[in-house]
Chain A
Amino acid sequence: MTEPSWHVVARFDDVAKDDVVAATIGDAALAIVRTNDNRVFVLDATCTHGRASLADGFVDGTEIECPKHNGRFEVTTGEAVASPARAALRTYPCRLSDGCIEVQL
């Protein structure tokens, strides 16, 4: 099994406050979220309910809303907090390094 390693997914400045951008590492489609207080979280981009990319979603505080069915997830934990989302999203460790966002996977 391959050891997890750190990958640069975006420049911090390229992600606006209260927003999300898409990134891809290998087969993994990721959503990079920056909250209003400049915290960054990385989650699977594909909604666990329907086939939609959360990278097109709406960031509201520490929640992200699916653009297709309005299901919501807590970005700090990946927990589904509003139906029709029920299953949690996978989250990934991330860090800032030299102005870049790195994710471990």
Chain B
Amino acid sequence: MRDYTVGGPEAKNATANNLVEADWYKPHVERETMKALMARSNGIAARDTILWLVLLVGSGILAYRSWGSWWAVPAFALYGVMYGSASDARWHECGHRTAFRSRLANDVIYHVAAFMDFREPISWRWSHARHHSDTIIVGRDPEIAFQRGAPLVNTFLELFAVRTIIAESKKLFLNAVGRPTKEQADFQPAEEMRGSIWWSRVYILAFAGVITWCIAAGSVLPAMFIGLPTIYGRWLMVVYGITQHAGLAEDVLDHRLNTRTVMMNRVNRFMYLNMNYHLEHHIFPTVPYHALPKLHATVADQLPTPHRSIWHAIREILPTLVKQRNDQSVVLARVVP
């Protein structure tokens, strides 16, 4: 299996092969069109954020009231998905600062959603910047979630954030005492560690507080609202996430070969904030989520045919991950116009 360690031996190969901070393929878009697509809107982002918060709080109230009955199962299932899955797209879009026009609004929602996702906000901002610089370049990209040859049980465990929580907990404790992880030191400037130290301590205190609350109350209920939804509500984020890059090419400088666009229905596009147009997002990360359908229509003739549904994408991904377990040269090829 290739060594996916960021800053590891594959990073040297990536540098030698001119894959680091390289020029990537871009489709042609008229400047006037691009300018219109990049425009930000506080109104649209506020509408979608309020709807998300209403669903989150509403399902939370239902869950609280139904605690002790079987009705709590669907209520917590909905609450968990709003907390542990929908937050990921909010974290992502506000991390790019493309959701709202207001930087403050982006940053507030970014930090709230990062907490829900169990992501220390500073290091993940730098991790994601690297993911956009060197997308699926082995040894450089810290966000290659589905690594070729990795045990398939990892994918299953990720539905419940098991490996993420272990890795992030280790990072939080190291950062809290002022130490970056080895990979983090590769993509996060040392000067930015101060923020990571501060937020790591905040997270540890917050989760210690929730545990203390549970012990004092003699009930797991507080953790069912804060913390545990990251585990029991994460599965939908993983379903969306697997469609992004899994099974596609590594070490290429053309997002059309390593990133997928998948058509989704309105509900999924709300939950995922249009990140199903993932290929378009990677090529033009300054275009806000609400303009991605228009961008997709603008450049569709220059990109591979998108998948027609989540299921359509997963039907090609899962068998490929199984094959890659034994043969890491297996890759899903893309036909580019």
- Which A residues contact B (CB, under 8 angstroms)? 16, 18-19, 49-51, 57-58, 60, 65-70, 72, 82-84, 86
Contact = CB atoms under 8 A, between A and B. Distances in A.
B125 interface: yes
Interface string B184-218: 00000101100000000000000000000000000
Given A57-B286, A82-B103, A86-B189, A70 B98 contact: yes
The 9 closest A-B pairs by CB, nearest first: A58-B38, A51-B21, A84-B129, A69-B129, A70-B96, A58-B286, A67-B286, A50-B133, A70-B97
Query: Size range of the interface on B?
Result: 20 to 34
Contacts of A82: 97, 103
A86 B126 CA distance: 12
A68 B303 CA distance: 19
Contacts of B97: 65, 70, 72, 82
6 contacts: A57-B286, A65-B97, A65-B286, A67-B284, A69-B132, A82-B97
Contacts of B21: 50-51
B35 A50 contact: no
B35 A68 contact: no
Given A50-B129, A82-B97, A16 B35 contact: yes
Contact of B133 (A19, A57, A60, A69): A69
B304 interface: no
A30 B228 CA distance: 50
B40 interface: yes
Question: For chain A, what secondary structure do more than half of its interface residues adopt (helix, strand, loop), or is it mixed?
Answer: loop
Contacts of B222: none
Given A68-B132, A86-B189, 19 more contacts: A16-B32, A18-B35, A19-B31, A19-B35, A49-B129, A50-B21, A51-B23, A57-B286, A58-B286, A60-B40, A60-B101, A65-B97, A66-B286, A70-B96, A70-B98, A72-B97, A83-B125, A83-B192, A86-B191
Interface in B19-42: 21-23, 31-32, 35, 38, 40
Interface in B114-131: 125-126, 129
Nearest to B126: A84
B241 interface: no
Given A19-B35, A60-B40, A68 B125 contact: no
A84 B286 contact: no
Contacts of A66: 286
Nearest to B103: A82
B285 A69 contact: yes
A50 B103 CA distance: 21
A29 to B, nearest CB: 13
Contacts of A57: 286
Contacts of A49: 129
Nearest to A81: B103
Nearest to B97: A70
Given A50-B21, A83-B125, A70 B285 contact: yes
Contacts of A19: 31, 35
A89 B286 CA distance: 19
Contacts of B126: 84
A18 B101 CA distance: 15
B193 to A, nearest CB: 13
A50 B187 CA distance: 12
A67 B132 CA distance: 11
A87 B111 CA distance: 24
Residue from the set A50, A58, A60 with the largest chain B CB neighbour count within 10 Å: A58
Interface in B25-63: 31-32, 35, 38, 40
Nearest to B21: A51
A54 to B, nearest CB: 11
A89 to B, nearest CB: 17
A50 B31 CA distance: 22
A60 B106 CA distance: 15
A67 B103 CA distance: 16
Nearest to B20: A51
A67 B281 CA distance: 11
